[in-house]
Structure 1
Amino acid sequence: MLVDQYTALTCAHVVRDPDAVMWLEFAENRDLEPVAARVLPGGWLSEAEGGEDVAVLRLESPRPQARPAPLEPRLWGGMEVSATGYAEGFDEGMTLWGRISGASGERVQLDAVAKAEVVRAGFSGAAVCTRPDEGRPARVVGLVVSWRGDMGELLPEDNRLAFSYLIPVDRIAELSPVIQELSSPNAWDHGFEERLTRWFADPDEEPVKITVVPPGSGKDRSLRHLRHRADLVYRGGGRGGSSRPDLADHALEHIAFPPGQYLAYWDWLLGTRRRPAQAPALAADRPPPTLLIDGLDEEPEPGPLIELLARLRECGLRLLLAFRQAGGTGWTAAYEVLLRPALLGHADALLTRLKSAEISHAISLGVVGADSIGPATETADRRQTERRLINELMDPQQQLTALHELISTLRADLRRHGGRA
């Protein structure tokens, strides 16, 4: 069971040896590459060590493409749950349903509808999941650990009575600080994840996005889990080996420039040479690349970095700027140099598209001729008036708020008039 991009849970008896190297395959997500894993320091929670037959594993390389299992430390008698295992003869997996019997103790009994649905070899370490609620995905309440039959027969159905057992999440959290943290109510910020996922997926979202991500917060963990969605990542303060020359180098992989002009464009991005005669542009057959600046206010001198980001904006890159605290180093410059110009330009581009979409729609309906388009652009004309009024706002925050609202309205207008937004 994957609980974050680096961490998995299983039973200690599955691992067998705390020094073993496990090979993890993601049977329910074939798009994920298998990966080696070892027991995390402090993650060997076997019964022999006074634990509960649990092993917390650390993956050798992350798997952020998978959604982490949402851990739920609460469970109660009568809760309907399921578990998927890979018993002998069921290589594609089999899912069994049951109900929580007694919700107390370090091992919790799971009652199956029939003895044939009691867990068996191949289920150890499987996630015990709740039935999904309306609008809420299934949560993981425990880990399958064993089954017991009253006659000691090898298969559950060969016994008169047979029950499954799980170790609840709250018990694992008592033993493992890692799981304690990941099972807390604030472990993740799912609303933030959804907004970021939309931003990465939709090139029509605002070209510069500024967000505050406090260190160690659920938002921070969610950002780390989505960092792979960015085409480029720069970590403030030189974390992860980030440097402006490296960023310029990697950015040029996405920028179309004439043969033999690499150094001219590289020097221009770093501010040591004038802008090249041929305007820099992105490859036309791909969405604009996204760049995450993770911890911009951790940069000791953000000025040169912000100047580089402004040049990358000229090339068409989309920027996600994560600050560790509101008002941190570089905050004002990021708003004035990056965010405000980007939103103004984005609003203008959407206005142009809206006008074109209105004209095309009206002509297709035969409402106007190509030489008489005045009334056909009524919506775009209204939005253009709103755009001019934004220029008259003197308060920067009011102007940004008005720009966000106008962009949202323009996107809705484009959807109504058949233009992509």
Structure 2
Amino acid sequence: MGELRADWRLRLRREDAHGPICGAGVLVDQYTALTCAHVVREPDAVMWLEFAENGGLPPVSARVVPGGWLPAAAGGEDVAVLRLDSPRPQARRAPLDTRLWGGMEVYATGYAEGFDDGMSLWGRIGGASGERVQLDAVTRSEVVRAGFSGAGVCTRPEEGRPARVVGVVMSWRGDLGEALPEDNRLSFSYLIPIERIAELSPVIKGLSAPGAWDHGFEERLGRWFDDPDEDPVKITVVAPGSGKERSLRQLAHRAHVVHRGGASRPDLIDHALDQVTFPAGEYLAYWDWLRGAKGRPERAGDRAPLRPVTVLVDGLDEEAQPGALIELLARLRVFGFRLLLVFRHEGGPGWTASRDLLLLPALLRHADGLLDRLQRAEFGRAVQRDIVNSASLGSVTETADRHRATRRLLEDVRDPQQRLNRLRALIRTLRADLSRAARG
């Protein structure tokens, strides 16, 4: 089945971080959450949002955004759009979906009295009730109750595909007006669809529209951050105002150092040196070297951190002097820093220099490292199989030797783009061979 826990499910408290639980909410990006207006009560209230299913994320206060107060009494739909007082990019946001149809199986998790850690109720989408939609439970005891208001209504999770939030719980209704759903003859839950909320709120419209996010880019970039064995230098184009840019903003916190195009290079040097350990009294020597004023300190390459440090340059082509920044980044590569270079436009200022001075040298060195690993893996496997002797020493690393010949031929390729393409193909092959070698 799909995910068991979700960062985006929020438990709301009133008054302060330890105040009474008053409902639920949905995190829709690192800055924004959804809940019901009747949970918030007043448009100027301060709410506390808890990540009930991820104790590693600290609670955060939030307030209604301008235009985000849509109470039912004022002809709205009982919606409140909240702005977090400090962002939570580490939390996985809710995947919003505007598609909804009768019979869809869904569930919601709320915080009813006695269930502070949450309880989940299942049902199926029923018919429309004005702008709200009826949610049919199997039994009256599975109808939502106090503590569920603002909870995300989710599709059934599937393997490899997370649940999608199609609406927000608003209320329940019983025909006898009793306090609990099971004490009535008929009881139903009600939700407001994401599609309707998007019609009311430009913020939610922007976050739920097709193309609002670039999920493929997020997956690729997530792999790059997770796996230090990925390319040590990555160049990508992120157009302003695109879903890809929104996805980049969500993941930028994973970089150890972030430099915005046009920002201060001395600040970049300071932040980079924070990641490096060097002998006492040598800070200025490293500072002067990184800014290009003096030569490289002795054994600078030995100062590389044990875990690779990632540097995100966001908008390299917005830099006034891209050449000076690229030279600085090349010196940071001495420490083994991994670089994510974001351009706003393909072919922008600094594009060719980044390819030739940063990307190509880094990938060539990376390929050499993969070749060494493959050779060791082949030789180690031969030793395990007891097939190494004086006559076989030259044949047990046949695959690595063949790839080394391909690597040497790259030196004769004069066109940089063609050389880069062949180098990428070699690296893909080496990774595949290493993967097979690891499986035995």
TM-score, structure 1 as length reference:
0.95
Q: In the alignment, does 2:170 pair up with 1:145?
A: yes
Contact 1:26 1:33 in 2 (8 A): yes
Where in structure 1 do 4 or more consecutive aligned residues deviate above 3 Å? Answer: 280-284, 369-372
Cα deviation for residue 214 of structure 1 reads 0.7
Gaps of 5+ in 2: 1-25
Instruction: State how far apart, in whole Å, the 2-side matches of 1:282 and 1:414 are.
Output: 28
Q: In the alignment, does 2:64 pair up with 1:39?
A: yes
Contact 1:282 1:288 in 2 (8 A): no
Residue 182 of structure 2 corresponds to which residue in structure 1?
157
Q: In the alignment, does 2:202 pair up with 1:182?
A: no
Instruction: State how far apart, in whole Å, the 2-side matches of 1:370 and 1:92 are.
Output: 67
Residue 303 of structure 1 corresponds to which residue in structure 2?
323
Residue 268 of structure 2 corresponds to which residue in structure 1?
247
In structure 2, relative to structure 1, the CA distance for the partners of 1:419 and 1:301 (3 Å cut) is: farther
Cα deviation for residue 394 of structure 1 reads 2.5
Residue among 267, 287, 293 paired with 2:288? 267
One-letter code aligned to 2:276? I
Residue among 320, 326, 336 paired with 2:340? 320
Cα deviation for residue 281 of structure 1 reads 3.3
Cα deviation for residue 107 of structure 1 reads 0.7
Q: In the alignment, does 2:131 pair up with 1:106?
A: yes
Q: How does 1:18-417 map to 2 (within 5 A)?
A: 18-103=43-128, 105-238=130-263, 243-283=264-304, 286-369=306-389, 373-417=393-437
Residue 15 of structure 2 corresponds to which residue in structure 1?
none
The percent of aligned pairs where both chains have the same amino acid is: 71
Provide, for residues 82-132 of structure 1, a one-character-per-residue CA deviation record: whole Å limited to 9, x for no partner.
Answer: 000010011221100111111474111111000000000000000000112
Contact 1:236 1:299 in 2 (8 A): yes
Cα deviation for residue 361 of structure 1 reads 1.7
Instruction: State how far apart, in whole Å, the 2-side matches of 1:68 and 1:370 are.
Output: 59
Higher deviation after alignment, 387-396 or 335-344: 387-396
In structure 2, relative to structure 1, the CA distance for the partners of 1:247 and 1:163 (3 Å cut) is: same
In structure 2, relative to structure 1, the CA distance for the partners of 1:151 and 1:125 (3 Å cut) is: same
In structure 2, relative to structure 1, the CA distance for the partners of 1:113 and 1:235 (3 Å cut) is: same
Instruction: State how far apart, in whole Å, the 1-side matches of 2:359 and 2:175 are.
Output: 68
One-letter code aligned to 2:330? A
Contact 2:304 2:336 in 1 (8 A): no
The DSSP-based 3-state class of the residue aligned with 1:24 is: strand
Over the aligned positions, Cα root-mean-square deviation in angstroms equals 1.6
The DSSP-based 3-state class of the residue aligned with 2:360 is: helix
Gaps of 5+ in 1: none
One-letter code aligned to 1:374? G
Contact 2:304 2:334 in 1 (8 A): no
Cα deviation for residue 370 of structure 1 reads 7.7
Contact 1:257 1:280 in 2 (8 A): no
Cα deviation for residue 278 of structure 1 reads 2.5
Instruction: State how far apart, in whole Å, the 2-side matches of 1:29 and 1:103 are.
Output: 34
Contact 2:308 2:336 in 1 (8 A): yes
Cα deviation for residue 417 of structure 1 reads 2.2
**Alignment: residue pair count:** 415
Higher deviation after alignment, 160-169 or 405-414: 405-414
Higher deviation after alignment, 209-218 or 350-359: 350-359
Contact 1:248 1:266 in 2 (8 A): yes
One-letter code aligned to 1:317? F
Cα deviation for residue 372 of structure 1 reads 5.3
The DSSP-based 3-state class of the residue aligned with 2:90 is: coil
